[in-house]
């Protein structure tokens, strides 16, 4: 009959065998962080003063996406920003941010892709293949309550000839 001490000894042998393995293959190469020069800093969306008039209410960054939009090898940040409101669905503005190379410089807004005056809410903000994509929720008429957008549109922006151009993806906005 096996005693508890016997089972403890067997467990110790198995655990030790699992830890001691023969060396096989070659160790993985450790990437050299300075091989391609210093990495560019991604602009911090929380460190920006946005040109959005909230009439005294605070601003809120609700979504961000990062990527090299203009092909210069430095990442940009795209930020969806809105005013904090007590109720309803406040509209978004979408901004493109860059980080200047000067040490200690704050990120800055270089483009507005969506103005809050268009009264749309941005969801699903992404950057892929140098293209900014957002689902935009809006309203079919002024009578539609601000809590309940009833239109949805896919919007895309791409850097072209020195500025961002919106690509038309839907011939018409879809009902939600």
Would you kindly state where each structural domain of the chain is located, as residue ranges?
A: 45-175
d(CA 50, CA 37): 31
Higher pLDDT, 5 or 100: 100
Q: What tens digit of pLDDT does each residue of 127-150 get?
A: 999 999 999 999 999 898 878 889
**Is the model's pTM score more than 0.85?**
no
According to the model, what pLDDT value does residue 175 have?
58
Mean pLDDT of 6-25: 39
- Residues 77-123 have pLDDT tens digits of 999 999 998 777 789 999 999 998 888 889 999 999 999 999 999 99
Secondary structure of the chain as H, E, C letters: CCCHHHHHHHHHHHHHHHHCCCCCCCCCCCCCCCCCCCCCCCCCHHHCCCCCCCCCCCEEEEEEEEECCCCCCCCEEEEEEEECCCCCCCCEEEEEEECCCCCCCCCEEEEEEECHHHCCEEEEEEEECCEEEEEEEECCCCCCCCCCCCEEEEEEEEEECCEEEEEECCCCCEEC
Count Cα neighbours of 155 within 13 Å in the Cβ-side half-sphere.
22
Q: Locate 146 and state its tokens.
A: 């601000």
Q: Report the range of poorest mean pLDDT among 20-29, 50-59, 136-145, 146-155.
A: 20-29
């Amino acid at each position: 009959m096996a005693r508890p001490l016997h089972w403890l000894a067997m467990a110790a042998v198995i655990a030790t065998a699992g830890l001691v393995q023969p060396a096989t293959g070659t160790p993985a190469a450790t990437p050299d962080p300075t091989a391609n020069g210093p990495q560019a800093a991604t602009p911090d969306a929380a460190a920006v003063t946005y040109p959005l008039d909230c009439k005294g209410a605070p601003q809120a960054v609700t979504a961000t996406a990062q990527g090299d939009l203009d092909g210069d090898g430095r990442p940009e940040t795209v930020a969806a920003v809105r005013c904090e409101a007590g109720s309803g669905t406040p509209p978004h503005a979408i901004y493109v941010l860059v980080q200047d190379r000067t040490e200690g410089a704050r990120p800055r807004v270089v483009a507005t892709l969506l103005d809050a005056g268009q009264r749309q809410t941005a969801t699903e903000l992404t950057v892929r293949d140098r293209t900014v994509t957002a689902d935009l929720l809006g309203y079919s008429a002024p009578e539609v309550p601000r809590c309940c957008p009833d239109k949805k549109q896919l919007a895309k922006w791409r850097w072209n000839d020195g500025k961002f151009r919106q690509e038309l993806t839907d011939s018409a906005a879809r009902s939600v």
